[in-house]
Homo-oligomer: A and B are copies of this chain.
Amino acid sequence: MLFLRAKLLDIDLGDNGVVINEKEIVGTEYYPQDRVLVECAKGSFIGVLYTTKKMVKEGELGISRGVIEGIEEGEEVRLRHAPRPKSLKYIKKKMDGGVLKPHEIHTIVDEIVQGKLSNIELTGFVVSTYIHGMEIGEIVEMTKRMGETGERLHWDKHPVVDVHSIGGVPGNKYALITVPIVAAAGMIIPKTSSRAITSAAGTADVMEVLTRVDLDAQEMKRVVEATNGCLVWGGSVNLAPADDIIINVERPLSIDPQPQLLASVMAKKIAAGINYTVIDIPVGPGAKIKNEREGYALARKFIELGDRVGIDVECAITYGGQPIGRAVGPALEAREALMALEDPKSAPKSLIEKSLSLAGILLEFGGVAQHGSGTKVAKDILYSGKALEKFKEIVLEQGGGEGITKSEDVELGRYFEDVPSSKDGYVISLSNRGITEIAKEAGAPRDKMAGVLLYVKRGCKVNRGDILYRIYSSSEERLKSALKLARRIHPVRVEGMVIRRISKF
């Protein structure tokens, strides 16, 4: 235990950070980033220890004003290690390859949500589950508990359906078309989406070009009751928040252990009160899932997990080897989705086909379409203009009466430049990752008007000088930077029919 004098600071560091002179802890058992218990006359709190060379002197402890009511400058405070989280021994059990009991998993999930686990402890858990995996029984418990923490939605009408993509393919804006089709058919579809994590645009980023997406649970409910559907950002609804914390250690390691993937998707469905969901599993080079065999294995797990937590699940293995449609980046994608709703005939076939197929599966489940005719019914709704009308309703309802409902009103980056083909031939590949990186370098997703518009897709014949794609940005400097990257990584490969010529000499 250290005895120190309080020094009140006009800063806040999150996590109730307290600041100590680095000399104070040399040779002690205290280290930067330790979770510590600070006790003073007026009470106590748990915080994170930061060190400084000069911000506070030896013998002082810097405490943010407001962390604890009534604390006075210079009063004695005691600092000791915060009790270790209870989860630690269960995390070690998983590290040692053990199978966790329900109450052990519950403790881990609860302490994650309560912010009691440090990044080191959380990484220990995530990496252990990545290496050892989890049994389906463990995943079921994790999913249920994650679904119980945070906000929960309840609905009067049934069935409540949902469509969810596990992600990994750029330009995947199908939900802006699928959701209004399903809602127009009279089914309840309260869709929450994520913002971009590593992509150039999440569905929430795309939708935000047209209307508000940061609705809380109350507001979201109101929109769905008025329109049957919504397209909001999951982050502000606070469904199954454990996932939002776990992802902070998965991202830096570029891992997404399957137990967590399964649990995080299905826990949000539990919390959102969903009865039935279609899971879109894009498969292909450059997607999260590399081949159909892996896709089927994952699909079977989703279906079994759904079964065990009381949600009907169907999976659609979809083609994810190149971007969906032609647009990548928030504004470009929003415009493309609106154009597809306005005039489906002129829209990219990959986008229309995917949107209708997923809508069709949902319509068949809801009994609105007979088995086998879902896609046809979805197509009728889209071509009749009813999906566009429904989408406009949703946009206006989410925006409190305001929003963009015409594709021609969507503004794109004022700076753009075309990238032409340097030779005659065929497009033999189109890199998901390359296109994403260029759109991000141009400023997406933060610069909503930045992105990439493709003029070709795989298999297209091109002549030298034909435009392959156009890069948009709101910043001249970033456009240049994106162009530089494009020249270096060449995301669209054009080759003649003879790809390599091997001569005798």
Contact = CB atoms under 8 A, between A and B. Distances in A.
B52 A88 contact: no
Interface string A1-41: 11000000011111000010010000111011110000000
A11 B55 contact: yes
Nearest to A30: B446
B14 A51 contact: yes
Interface string A42-57: 0000000011111100
Contacts of A53: 12
Interface in A169-218: 195-198, 204-205, 208
Q: How large is the interface on A (under 10, 10 to 19, 20 to 34, 35 or more residues)?
A: 35 or more
Contact of A92 (B1, B2, B204, B253): B253
A130 B95 contact: yes
A4 to B, nearest CB: 12
Contacts of A136: none
Contact of A127 (B12, B13, B128, B446): B128
B248 A31 contact: yes
Contacts of A12: 52-55
Given A14-B22, A119-B123, A128-B127, A27 B205 contact: yes
Contact of A95 (B13, B131, B235, B252): B131
A127 B94 CA distance: 11
A226 to B, nearest CB: 25
A114 interface: no
Contacts of A10: 55
B249 A120 contact: yes
Contacts of A443: 1
A120 B252 contact: yes
Interface in A57-112: 88, 91-92, 95, 97
A480 interface: no
Contact of A2 (B51, B120, B446): B446
Contacts of A52: 11-14
A255 interface: yes
A118 interface: yes
B131 A123 contact: no
Contacts of A446: 2, 27-28
A132 interface: yes
Nearest to A127: B127
Contact of A120 (B1, B29, B123): B123
B253 A121 contact: yes
A254 interface: yes
A168 interface: no
A285 interface: no
User: Nearest 5 A-B pairs (CB), nearest first?
Assistant: A123-B123, A11-B55, A127-B127, A120-B252, A27-B195
15 contacts: A1-B478, A11-B19, A12-B52, A13-B13, A13-B50, A14-B50, A27-B195, A27-B205, A29-B198, A33-B119, A88-B253, A88-B254, A119-B119, A121-B253, A123-B127
Interface of A: 1-2, 10-14, 19, 22, 27-29, 31-34, 50-55, 88, 91-92, 95, 97, 118-121, 123-124, 127-128, 130-132, 195-198, 204-205, 208, 233, 235, 248-249, 251-255, 440, 443, 445-446, 478, 481
